[in-house]
Chain A
């Protein structure tokens, strides 16, 4: 017993000193090596008289555990210290720039189309599309705009053939025709897309974007039209109150027809939608003309409904304070970067249209 105690005291003392890793390891060998002091004592266990053997073994084990754990603690301590010293040398200037990243952007028109789709999705509209090149029938005739109609003058049309039979669609309304010819009523669709008119100045571009809306069912009236657009405009501009004015107008494919103005004012050089006493025209709409329904084999005695056409670029300009329409299509890196949206900003219903 005293042997064991001596060894313990002796080594506890040794281990109190400031030691290097090598020194600790040699202590470890001294104790637990093949011929180490503790190892040797274990070998003697068999020769201890039976009466004392149990106590002896127990004491020996206790001392062994105590010293072993002390040694590994010591080793850990030294290792930690060494690592810390090493890390201290590895310090970088963390203010140096990281690896560069490039940020892509979504064009404001695309973002606006997604916003519009999201809003109309909520009230049950689905998205339809049609080709950019249209025949004269779908673009005009089927829409109750015969060849001799002065309303055709309002559409400065790009033609693809001398006979004026194929053209670049001047509005998204031909998608109404395609949709109604393809399916049976009821219809509840929007159709966003590119449209073309041979017009080019600060406020007109030869290509622009429209979204068409069409809702045909048995009992759809002008009240529904007003409700739908009122809802849309409020949601789109993300304002509580909106001033909206329906004004009689004329489109060959709707009767009665209306143009819709929204109230605005200029505050600190910026346009504020929904307030003020200025009016801004933003869309055309009306009840689908019975002649149009007849043209697509829908019985106007049974079905009726409304259609509307909204200029998407114009909406984007108003909402996001963009002044020049031409710049939309100029592809200037700086402009795209400034007015574009992060691709992760997907307009959704639950999260809201914008952050």
Chain B
């Protein structure tokens, strides 16, 4: 909402400075968004006279004009306007001036080899009107003695832009703002004497509101002004509109705008002669069409509130009028409409047709239902004053009657909510100033809510009014008590934070990427999931919810590689989605690692990062988080975005209940398709929701401390096994031979090739044997060695390598 202090003063007796005003507005909840000096630099625009015009030597349509700008020197200005002619008095803008319309700053420019010192301006460029066909024509009788003088009269009032919250339609009018200010002690609200129409002429255009279901119009007031002469608005009116950044159009349009801004009373003016018979306010029928004042043709659905006549739709009530019945300069008879439309109906219609207008903005927030007469009176008198004519009696049609809401208000509720006290007397004074009427009813008050405050529906709203006007600075600070009754994080939340920092500590940079992604990338990683489309995405590249974090991570990894980074690891912890219903999401820790280890190292040979690097990161992270690596079970069933031979699936135990993690090389085809330039790319996904919380938490006692100090022995074995046999299974068989004696197994060699039969491989392990009870004798060790060989050979078909 744009206002000026000057306009406010129409309603407010006040002597304070503008600075104080700005402070007060913000303090009472009418936030000042910006303050702009519209007239800054406008003094540069001068009244000027064209002395001579010549055709431009290099351009047919341009003229070179000698312009008298009131200085000694005559300015040469290149101008393309057809009406630029000798003797014309117009508006001249020198180099350095900023054109109001497009905010461009003029410079001395060569236009086709002729230097132009400044510019002659059209009305459109000066924001005076839409006229852009030629330069401004000033009347020579009025301006002949003003050559060289500033064209604009200086306005001292700044343009103040307020951010009005949607609950305050009353403050979409200058008077409403003035009322709030006065209630807070900033000035006094001026009582404006209502000038009432005392006409004997009746309004001859019949108006009817159909009484049907979903009728969006509750009342429709109208007044006919006949024999008018539409004209340019007088200076005071033009200045007023210009002062808040609006463009004057014609007296009739300007008057309706003025009334709307002044008292938040939207009006519509019809050319009465273009209305066929009478006006019918009704619901639209599907398929009806009309051309609105924005020059667009709208096709209507059912149940939109339209103002119509015999020929069809004239306009959308409370939203936009139509071209067919609009007023023009030659309009002779004007019908002014002042109506009340239901906010719901307005909102529904405007949303369906995607229209936004000043009227719609106001009606959907709720217009004062009792302002119909005032609006008509104000506008009709102004039209008569400016355009002449005769005013008819008001015609008010309605299908329902407005009654002020009554709310019970207990003064104690104020202290309950705000924590501080004010005198009941002061409360009543504020409410009175805001337009409430208060009646004492035992210990409480019965408040009649002013018709312009649709937002106030219950006691708490009254408390809000009071504390807002008294000032939020009066609220005392209650220091918080440092006491914790419940633990801050749940076990799962702790695990989230632990995994996050655990992965980062392994050299991964944490990224946060969108929860949505490009379907193109998501396709690679969605697996069995459905694609989850967003109906109204910000762009097609962010069109679907991500089924996997990989889609975003790999795209950004690729971008980083394009930036010239070769070896890097990134991860993200966050949601992935498997359905469109709330809760159909998982928390996943997802990481990618690209490039080489020991690149360009003087110490070690460089090598590509590989599946066992990423396996280490996953296993270590889970172990750090409290899971027992001895129990992990790993197989090779992984989603198809992993390399089928170099990826794994990890379960926390052999029960294979739910997948704890996937890890492995990213499928080379994907890397190729997204054209990523890297030597190697490995990734992992840890599924937080699938991790059962560790049974023991840190606060629990640790298990009994028991270690053996008896002699340890190590025995090495090499088995030749079928290629299909997994090391995990072999190790498992060995460890089960004697859990008491076998304390550790290390795989130190895996070999295929020369000396090994085809389809077989050699696995070499070192087994640590140690008793908790005694030092083992050679015979005991021989016994267990024999037992290991026999068991492995029996269970896996392996042969010990001699």
A positions within 8 Å CB-CB of B: 96-97, 99-107, 109-110, 114, 117, 120-127, 129, 131-135, 138, 148-151, 153-154, 158-162, 166, 168, 188, 194, 196, 198-200, 206-207, 219, 221-224, 226-228, 230-231, 245-250, 255-259, 287, 289-290, 304, 328-334, 336-337, 340, 343-344, 346
Contacts and interface: CB of A to CB of B under 8 A. Distances in A.
Contacts of A138: 582
Contacts of A257: 464
Given A107-B510, A160-B535, A222-B419, A122 B484 contact: yes
Nearest to B532: A160
B420 A104 contact: no
27 contacts: A100-B598, A100-B601, A104-B510, A123-B480, A127-B493, A148-B348, A150-B364, A158-B516, A158-B536, A166-B581, A166-B582, A198-B538, A221-B419, A221-B478, A222-B417, A227-B480, A246-B473, A248-B28, A249-B31, A255-B461, A256-B463, A331-B552, A332-B560, A336-B510, A343-B501, A344-B501, A346-B501
Contacts of B224: none
B345 to A, nearest CB: 9
B514 A206 contact: yes
A63 to B, nearest CB: 42
B215 to A, nearest CB: 16
Given A131-B585, A230-B477, A346-B501, A109 B472 contact: no
B472 A248 contact: yes
Contacts of A97: 602
Given A122-B484, A196-B515, A331-B560, A247 B534 contact: no
B458 interface: yes
A198 B536 contact: yes
A116 to B, nearest CB: 11
Contacts of A148: 343-344, 347-348, 364
Given A166-B582, A206-B542, 19 more contacts: A99-B601, A102-B567, A102-B569, A107-B511, A109-B512, A124-B481, A158-B537, A206-B538, A207-B516, A221-B417, A221-B418, A222-B475, A231-B479, A249-B165, A287-B417, A331-B512, A331-B559, A333-B563, A336-B570
B710 to A, nearest CB: 34
Given A158-B534, A161-B580, A331-B511, A149 B166 contact: yes
B681 to A, nearest CB: 15
Given A198-B536, A223-B478, A331 B472 contact: no
Nearest to B342: A148
B603 interface: yes
Contacts, number: 257
Nearest to A230: B477
Contacts of A258: 472
B418 A150 contact: no
Nearest to B344: A148
B513 interface: yes
A99 B604 contact: yes
Contact of A247 (B29, B167, B516, B583): B29
B367 to A, nearest CB: 13
A106 B570 CA distance: 10
B166 A207 contact: no
A222 B585 CA distance: 37
Nearest to A190: B488
Contact of A162 (B420, B515, B535): B535
Contacts of A249: 29, 31, 165
B704 interface: no
Contacts of B26: 247
B507 A247 contact: no
B168 interface: yes
Contact of A223 (B28, B475, B538, B545): B475
Interface in B494-549: 497, 500-516, 532-538, 542, 545
B390 to A, nearest CB: 40
7 tightest A-B contacts by CB?
Answer: A248-B29, A223-B419, A102-B507, A250-B165, A331-B556, A104-B504, A221-B419
B739 interface: no
B330 interface: no
A230 B167 CA distance: 27
Nearest to B501: A343
B482 A132 contact: no
B759 to A, nearest CB: 39
A333 B510 CA distance: 10
Contacts of A287: 417, 460
B731 to A, nearest CB: 29
Contacts of A200: 538
A223 B468 CA distance: 14
A99 B599 CA distance: 11
Interface of B: 26-29, 31, 165-168, 343-344, 347-348, 364-365, 416-420, 458, 460-461, 463-464, 467-468, 472-473, 475-490, 493, 497, 500-516, 532-538, 542, 545, 552-553, 556, 559-560, 563, 565, 567-570, 574-575, 577, 580-585, 598, 601-604
A127 B480 contact: no
A196 B542 CA distance: 12
Contacts of B501: 106, 343-344, 346
Given A132-B585, A200-B538, A246-B472, A124 B483 contact: yes
Nearest to A251: B165
Given A161-B535, A227-B478, A333-B560, A104 B515 contact: no
Given A162-B535, A168-B515, A126 B486 contact: yes
A286 B473 CA distance: 14
A300 to B, nearest CB: 8
B437 to A, nearest CB: 22
A123 B482 CA distance: 4
B259 to A, nearest CB: 22
Contact of B509 (A105, A149, A166, A330): A105
Contact of A101 (B467, B507, B512): B507
For A160, A161, A219, A333, which residue has the most chain B Cβ atoms within 10 angstroms? Answer: A333
Contacts of A105: 504, 509-510
Contacts of A346: 501
Contacts of B489: 117, 126-127
Nearest to B420: A223
Contacts of B488: 117, 120-121, 125-127
A150 B481 contact: no
A88 to B, nearest CB: 23
A247 to B, nearest CB: 6
Contact of B417 (A199, A256, A343): A256
Contacts of B28: 248
A47 B377 CA distance: 151
A143 to B, nearest CB: 14
A304 B419 CA distance: 12
A124 B583 CA distance: 27
Contacts of A110: 500, 510, 512
A106 B632 CA distance: 28
B418 A222 contact: yes
A207 to B, nearest CB: 5
A153 B165 CA distance: 12
A65 B559 CA distance: 78
A196 B478 CA distance: 33
Nearest to A287: B417
A188 B556 CA distance: 38
A111 B568 CA distance: 21
A131 B483 CA distance: 29
A285 B22 CA distance: 22
A250 B167 contact: yes
Contacts of B560: 331-333
Nearest to A207: B514
Contact of A224 (B419, B486, B598): B419
Contacts of B503: 104
A148 B458 CA distance: 19
A290 B463 CA distance: 12
A303 to B, nearest CB: 12
Nearest to A123: B480
